[in-house]
Amino acid sequence: MKYKKCISVLVLFLLGINNTFASDDDRYFQAYSQIIGSKPDSEEELTALVSDSDVLSEQSSLASVYIALLQSMLDHPTGFEEYKLAPKDHLKDIKRSHPALYFRHNILSAYNLAIQEKWRLAHSTIDEVIAFANDNDPELYFDAIATKSIFLARMGLIRASLNSGAKVLGELPSLTEKRFFGDGAIENMELEIGLNMSYLGENKRALELCSRAETFFYTRPLSSPHRYYQIALDCQRRSLENLGQIDEAFDMLEKYTEYATSIEDWNTYTYGLVLKIEYFYALGKVKEAHELIEKTESFISLLPTSYDTNTYQISRFKALVEQSEFERANALSALIIDNLSDEYSSPDLHWAQFKSIQSSLFEQLGNKEAAISALRDSKNFYQSLYYQTDDRKELFSDYYESALAERKLQLLKQQHELSQLELANSNRMNLILTAGALTLLGLLALISYLYAVQRRLKREQETLATVDTLTGVRNRRSLLGAVQLELNEAKSYKNDLSLVLIDLDNFKEINDNYGHECGDDLLKAFCEHVSKSIRKTDTFGRYGGEEFILCLPNTSAAEAKEVVSSILDSYRKVRITPNISAQTFSAGIAQYQTGIETSNLIKQCDEALYVAKRFGRNRVCIFSQDD
C-alpha cells in the first residue's frame, strides 16, 4: 500500500523542452523557463512570480497552459491530489497552434483520470500522447511511456509496467543530465524500474538503480519532491531485506525515518515505525518492539487518521495483547474499529490482521465463542484478498506467482488454526461429559480435518501449476497466455515481435539409446541454458515434448535469428552427461504482422522449422511466404 501511496504519475518538464514548445511564441517559453530557474518552493511564491511576468499574467490560451505546467511543480505533495488544468476552451486553441504543448498538458489530464480510477480513459488519453509524440517529440514520448508504466504499476501490473518502461530505458538520458525536476517531474525511470524490480525480486539490479537515484535526489532543490528520495531509500531497504542483509536493511530504515523526521513527513515516519516494529518481531526482539511502541504511541495518537496510523495502531494492539494489558487493548480495539469503518482504499488487509489479534485477545479472556467468530472473520478477510488476487488477468513473474502461492498457503494455515481452535473448544466442553469417548471422536475429527486440508492443499497446488514440472519453465497453458499478452502489446504499440519454435534434434535417438532418464536430463539442461541466455522480458516455455517456444518482444526476425543462432552455438558446447554432448536444435522464426492470430503465427514458425529440418537440422530459418 505504501508503494501505491508513494508512486504517482509524474510529468517531466525539462528546461530544454522540444523546440515545438516555443517555435510560435518564444516569449511564453522564455517566461516559463525564467520561473523554472527561480525554483519556487511554494504556491505563494509561484503565484507572485506569475503575477510579475508581463507575459504569463496575460489572459491567453498559451499563458494558461504554461501556468498549469508550472503549478504541477507544487500541487502534488502526496500523490493523490489532482493537477490543476487549463480551461477546456483554451486547450482547443492550443491543440491547433501548439500540439506538443497540448499533449504535454494531456499527461496531467491522464493523471487526474487515474486518480479517479478511470483507468480505461486514463490509458486511452496517455496512448494518444504516445502516438503523437512517437514521431514528433522524443522527450514527450519518454514522459508518456513513463506515465503509462507508472499507471500499470499502480494497478498492480508490475511485469507489464517493467515491460513498458524497458522500451525506452536504453534511450533515456541519465538523471544527472536532466536539467529540471519539479514536483510534476517524471518519477525517473531509474527509480521507477528499480522500485518495480525490488518488488519482483530483482534485488541486485534494484539496489544499483535506487542507490543511484538516492544520490541524485539528495542534492535536488527543495522544489523536487521529497518522496523521490524517500522511495529510493525504501527501495534499497526492501532489496537488502530480500537479500537477507537484515542489519543493512535496518540501517537503511533508520535513515528513512530520520529523513522523514527532518522534513516533518509524519505519514512516512509512521510507516517507518511500523516497519521497525515488524523487524523486531521477525527477529524475536519482542521487548524492543514493545519499547518502541511505548515510546511513540503518544505522538502517533496526535496525528490524523491514515492508512499508516491504522497500521501502527494494529501493531500497538498486538503488543498490548501480548503484554496481557487487556483493559487498554479493549479500549484501543474500539478505536481501531471506528477508524477501519471509515472509507479508504482496500481495508481488507487491516481488518484481517486486526481480527486475528482480536481472536487472541478473546481467547485469553476466556471468551472462546467470540475468539472463534473473530478468527473466522479474519479468515474471510484474507479470503477476500485471495480472490482479489485471483481476479488479476495479468501474467506476473515467477517471483509474483511464488508470492501468490505463499499467500494461498497462509490462507490454508488460517483455516487450519480456525479448526484447531474450534476443536480445542469442543474438547474442553465435552471432556466434562466423557473424556474417553469424546477424545476418540476428537481424534477422528482431527484425522478427517487433516485429510480434508491435504486434499484442499493438493487442489490449490494444482490450480497454481503454471510451470512444467520436469524443466521448470512455463508449461503450455501459461506459455500461450504470456505470448498472447505480448502479441497484444505489440499490436497496441506497433512494436516488432518475433516468435521462435524450437525442436531438439535427434531427441528420440537419445531416449532410445540412453533411456528416458538421459532424455529428461537433456530437456532440463536445454531449458536451463536457454533461460540463462535470454532477457528478463523474453518469454520461454515448453510447448510439448521436445518442442519449445521463445517469444522475443521488440525484436525483428533478423535480430531474433542472431539471438537464436548465438544460443545454438553455445548450446553445442554444453555437456549433458558423460555420454551426451555436442547437441543441436532446429528453429523456425516468424515475425508478428498486425492482425495475425497466435495460432497462425505458431503455424508460420512450424513451417520455417520444417525448412530447417529439411536442410539438415542444426540451423535457424525465418518464415517466408515463398518457402
Residues in a beta bridge with 541: 474, 549
- The SS3 assignment for 499 reads strand
Query: Looking at the DSSP assignment, which residues form a beta bridge with residue 544?
Result: 547
User: Confidence class of residue 381 from pLDDT cuts 50, 70 and 90?
Assistant: confident
Is the confidence at residue 223, as pLDDT, over 90?
no
Sheet strands side by side (includes 620-622): 539-544, 547-553, 497-504, 585-591, 620-622
pLDDT computed for residue 119 by the predictor? 80
pLDDT at 383: 61
Least confidently predicted of 3-17, 377-391, 443-457? 3-17
What angle is formed at CA 481 by the lines to CA 475 and CA 486, rounded to 5 degrees? 120
Quote the pLDDT of residue 18: 39
What gap in Å lies between CA 260 and CA 269, rounded to an integer?
5
Cell of 607: 513451417
Contact 533, 566 (CB under 8 A): yes
Catalytic residue among 190, 202, 214, 546: 546
How far is the first Cα of the chain from the last one, in angstroms, to the nearest whole number?
54
**What's the DSSP call for residue 390?**
H
Grid cell for residue 419: 479448526
Q: Which three cell numbers stand for residue 254?
A: 533508520
Which are the contacts of 192, defined by CB distance < 8 A and separation ≥ 6? Answer: 7, 146, 149, 150, 153, 161, 165
Contact 145, 165 (CB under 8 A): yes
Q: Say whether pLDDT at 183 is over 60.
A: no
Single-letter amino acid code for the residue at 393:
K
Helices 246-262 and 266-282, packing angle to 10 deg: 160
Which amino acid is present at 161?
Answer: S
Query: Residue 263 contacts by C-beta under 8 Å, 6 or more apart in sequence?
Result: 226
Instruction: Give 534 or 43, the one with higher predicted confidence.
Output: 534
State phi, psi for 83 to the nearest 5 degrees: -75, 150
**Section 420-449 average pLDDT:** 55
CA distance 7 to 218: 18
Count CB neighbours of 315 within 10 A.
22
**Model confidence band, residue 608 (pLDDT cutoffs 50, 70, 90):** very high
What is the tens place of the pLDDT at every residue in 520-537? Answer: 999 999 999 999 999 888
Looking at residue 604, what is its pLDDT?
96
Say which amino acid occupies 606: D
The answer, yes or no, to whether residue 613 has pLDDT greater than 60, is: yes
Q: Is the pLDDT reported for residue 393 higher than 80?
A: no
Mean pLDDT to the nearest integer, 43-63:
87
User: Is 546 a known active-site residue?
Assistant: yes
Q: How distant is the alpha carbon of residue 512 from its chain centre?
A: 46
d(CA 461, CA 457): 6
pLDDT of residue 385: 53
For all residues of the chain together, what is the average pLDDT? 77
Contact at 8 Å (CB) between 357 and 314?
Answer: yes
pLDDT in the model for residue 548: 97
- Structure-model confidence comparison of residues 288 and 169, the more confident one: 288
Does residue 402 carry a pLDDT above 60?
no
Give 445 or 405, the one with higher predicted confidence.
Answer: 445
Q: Are residues 552 and 560 in contact, defined by beta-carbon separation less than 8 angstroms?
A: yes
Q: Find the mean pLDDT for residues 300-312.
A: 85
Torsion angle, alpha carbons of 66, 70, 71, 77, to 10: 150
What totals of helices (H) and strands (E) does the chain contain, helices first?
26, 7
Instruction: Provide CB contacts within 8 A for 314, sequence distance 6+.
Output: 336, 350, 353, 354, 357
DSSP three-state, residue 5:
helix
Residue type, 235: C
CB atoms within 10 A of CB 134: 15
Name residue 366's amino acid: G
pLDDT at 22: 40
Q: What is the largest CA-CA distance in the chain?
A: 95
Average pLDDT over every residue of 386-404: 38
12 falls in which pLDDT band (50, 70, 90)? very low
323: which residues sit within 8 A by CB, 6+ positions away?
A: 290
Which amino acid type is present at position 532? K
Q: What are 125-159's pLDDT values in tens digits? A: 999 998 998 888 877 787 788 788 778 777 766 66
Rounded Cα gap, residues 307 and 486, in angstroms = 36
Q: Looking at the predicted structure, is the pLDDT value of residue 179 above 50? A: no
Summarised one tens digit per residue, pLDDT across range 470-485 is 888 888 888 888 898 8
On the question of pLDDT at 455 being above 80, the answer is no
Dist CA 560 CA 594 (whole Å): 18
Q: Is the pTM of this model over 0.85?
A: no
Three-state secondary structure readout of 535-597 = CCCCEEEEEECCEEEEEEECCCHHHHHHHHHHHHHHHCCCEEECCEECCCEEEEEEECCCCCC
Nearest by Cα to 303 from 269, 278, 279, 329: 269
pLDDT band at residue 10 under the 50/70/90 scheme: very low
Cell of 314: 494494529
β-strand partners of 553: 497
The pLDDT of residue 423: 56
Angle between helices 348-364 and 307-322 (to 10 degrees): 20
CB of 12 closer than 8 Å to CB of 143:
yes
pLDDT at 496: 92
Using CA atoms, how far apart are residues 273 and 204, in angstroms rounded to an integer?
A: 25
In the predicted structure, residue 582 carries a pLDDT above the cut 70: yes
Flag whether pLDDT at 581 surpasses 90: no
Q: Is the pLDDT of residue 538 over 80?
A: yes
Residue pair 505/586 in contact by the 8 Å Cβ criterion: yes
Residue 464: predicted pLDDT = 54
| pLDDT above 70: percentage of residues in the chain | 73
DSSP 8-class letter at 84: P
- Cα dihedral 34, 36, 38, 44 in deg (nearest 10): 110
d(CA 424, CA 440): 14
Q: Taking a C-beta distance cutoff of 8 angstroms, is the pair 85, 68 a contact? A: yes
User: Could you read off the pLDDT of 351-373 as tens digits, one per residue?
Assistant: 888 888 998 899 889 888 888 88
Please answer whether residues 273 and 300 qualify as being in contact, where contact means their C-beta atoms are separated by less than 8 angstroms: yes
Position 144, amino acid: A
Please give the single-letter amino acid code of residue 384. Answer: S
Looking at per-residue confidence, does 438 or 496 come out higher? 496
> Which one has a higher pLDDT value, 179 or 130?
130
Confidence band, pLDDT 50/70/90 cuts, at residue 171: low
The pLDDT of residue 341 is 80
**Range of weakest confidence among 113-127, 327-341, 345-359, 535-549:** 345-359
